[in-house]
Homo-oligomer: A and B are copies of this chain.
Amino acid sequence: MRARKLAGGLISAALLTGTVALTVNTALAEEGAPPLTKEEMKKASKIYFDRCAGCHGMLRKGATGPALTPERLKKRGLNIEAIKAFIYNGTPGGMPDWGKQGVLTKDEIDLMARFLLNPPPNPPLLSWEQIKESWKVYVPVEKRPKKAANPNWQNFFGVILRDVGKVAIIDGTTKKLLNIVDTGFAVHILRTSASGRYMYSIGRDGKATVIDMWMKKPDKVAEIKVCYDARSIDTSKYHGYEDKYAVVGCYWPPSFVILDGKNLKPITRHATSDYYYDTKDFVREARVASIVASHYDPLWILNIKEAGQVWLVDYENVDKGTVSVDMIDAERYLHDGGWDLSKRYFLVAANMRNKIVVVDTKEKKLAAIVEVGTKPHPGRGANIDHPKYGPIWCTGHIGEKRIACIGTDPKKHKKYAWKVAKWIEMPGEGGGNLFIKTHPNSKYLIADRPLNPDKNLQRSIFVFDKYSFKLVKTLKVPDDIPGRAVHPEFNKGGSEFWISVWARKDQPSAILVYDANTLKLKKVIKGDWVRTPTGKFNVYNTMKDIY
């Protein structure tokens, strides 16, 4: 007898946050899969979206993390107890120890294990109507200031307060907090417009916000929710298109969305679902991992994570209804990256293949694929004009303690071009680096290590001489400030660098300001509002892509 009983028909579960409505087809339940109530399905879907989807995908086909479909789990011989153990303890490969860390309770882990043994619910599409309805203009363009209220505005910093869904605007000159702006949930990145006047944030929840730095109290002037899940935003930086467009890269639905740069009015969108560059099989969930705007062409560089393709999106004819895309086969899974010193070459990590992909944006083709260390994580990387190697671009790694510096001048320094010209080694065991940074006016290369299991290393900042590559100093987060040191960022002139101390949401922490010459801690930015600070973005350095 093949007939069986199933609970419910199609149910529509608006998730607890109200941000994601998953259509849960309980009729899809697998034979013998552990049953879930509607309430449990709702809760599990929300936890999955918040904690798991980033690495494993909404459709659970896998990306940075392995595939988690019921068939796949069964094939790997994983029963409910084994799955619970994975969720509780994590793995050395990078899976967090959600149970040990206390992020998920035992009951929640049991729920998630049962959820994973059922087929993934269909993630909803986001209609254009919904997008348009979410669009809010707080200050119309004509009511915005005609000139900057504060002469220091190009040295302002936007600081992501990640887990509280806010962005702090700090005057980099006076170190004063100017405003705290409500943005999307778990903001992933901030970018500035070509003029620098507008700063854009994109939340994990797909909400894009634009903040006007010319206001006396910089504040958001418009916002719109264009995806359920997103990681990237940038603007049109080509001559004649300054501040004209913004573009959001979505994780779900897999797409990019083009917006008016000043008021975020939605203009158009295109899907990024495509075929893997290598197997040529279909990947519905081909997500936009990161976006960077070219300064010299009307192009955005979109890194399509799963497909392993770099898309050069030409926005020159958007107003005529044309979007042009060069789809360049590269490597899996693309993550983030940055410009070389000349801003002709874009370098991006293929983090599961331990490669850096180099795209020539002038010739619109792949220039090289460079083998680096385990799980490169460049952020934007760091550029050094080196007397011996010529211009080099460096990346740290999550998976090991070395920093790889790649030669980027195939003409005058051909010998070092598109290979690791220099390895730099950090002290202590293991990797865990997320960001490195330098500045043309600084002699130092600064590296964090927040993902290292050693608490001491998590709270250390490593300062290297950028020419000799020798470790000059290891800076430590002061004992009275809880959290990990993360994301070095220079001020406009390169005379200071700032470090976030990333603690738990319920603990105020701090932003540390170091003198970039003496390496002395010159200021601790504190306050009850300093919660989970992560990325910080100096207006000038971000508008000019200085790193």
Chain A contacts to B: CB under 8 angstroms = 2-9, 25, 27-29, 31, 125, 127-128, 131, 253, 255, 266, 268-271, 273-275, 277, 279-282, 317, 320-330, 364-366
Which single residue of chain B is at the shortest CB-CB distance from A8?
Answer: B2
Is B268 a contact of A280 with CB atoms below 8 Å? yes
- Contacting pair B327 A322 (CB below 8 A): yes
Q: Using CB atoms, name the residue of chain B closest to A25.
A: B28
Q: How many copies does the complex hold?
A: 2
Q: Please measure, in the bound complex, the distance between the C-alpha atom of A7 and the C-alpha atom of B325, giving whole angstroms.
A: 46
The residue of chain B having its C-beta at the shortest distance from the C-beta of A130 within the complex is B281
Residue of B nearest to A11 (CB): B2
Q: Is the CB of A322 within 8 A of B273?
A: no
Distance to closest chain B CB from A10 (angstroms): 9
- Asked if A322 and B328 sit within 8 Å, CB to CB, the answer is yes
CA of A192 to CA of B101, assembled, Å: 65
Please measure, in the bound complex, the distance between the C-alpha atom of A7 and the C-alpha atom of B6, giving whole angstroms: 12
- Contact with A275, one of B4, B27, B269, B277 (Cβ below 8 angstroms): B269
CA distance A414 to B268 in the complex (A): 32
B281→A125 contact, CB < 8 A: yes
* A320, B127: Cα distance in complex, Å: 36
Q: Please, how many angstroms separate the alpha-carbon atoms of A320 and B369 in the complex?
A: 13
Pair B324/A324 contact, Cβ less than 8 Å = yes
| Contact between chains at A320 and B125 (CB < 8 Å) | no
Known: A5-B3, A28-B28. A282 touches B253 (CB 8 A): yes
Give which listed residue, B5, B25, B322, B328, contacts A366 with CB less than 8 A. B322
Name the 8 nearest CB pairs between A and B, nearest first. Answer: A321-B329, A128-B280, A3-B5, A324-B326, A271-B274, A322-B328, A323-B327, A27-B27
Name the one of B4, B125, B317 contacting A5, with C-beta atoms under 8 angstroms.
B4
Residue of B nearest to A131 (CB): B280
Q: Given known contacts A3-B5, A320-B365, A324-B326, what 20 new A-B pairs fall within 8 Å (CB)?
A: A2-B9, A6-B27, A27-B27, A27-B28, A125-B281, A128-B279, A128-B281, A131-B280, A268-B275, A268-B329, A269-B280, A270-B274, A271-B282, A320-B366, A322-B328, A322-B365, A323-B327, A324-B325, A324-B327, A325-B325
Closest-CB distance, A247 to chain B (whole angstroms): 14
**Are B281 and A271 closer than 8 Å at their CB atoms?**
no
Q: Cβ of B125 and Cβ of A364 under 8 Å apart? A: no
**A7 surroundings in chain B (CB, below 8 A):** 2-3
Kindly provide the distance from the CB of A130 to the nearest chain B CB, expressed in whole angstroms: 10
Closest to A274 in B: B271
* B322-A329 in contact (CB<8A): yes
**A277 touches which one: B6, B255, B279, B321 (CB < 8 A)?**
B321
**Beta-carbon contact of A127 and B281 below 8 Å:** yes
Select from chain B the residue with minimum beta-carbon distance to A279: B128
Give the Cβ gap from A323 to chain B, nearest Cβ, in Å: 5
CB neighbours (8 Å) of A269 from chain B are: 275, 280
CB-CB nearest in chain B for A317: B365
Q: How far is the CA of A322 from the CA of B367 in the complex (A)?
A: 12
How far does the Cβ of A64 sit from chain B's closest Cβ, in whole Å? 22
How far apart sit A273 and B280, CA to CA, in the bound complex (Å)?
15
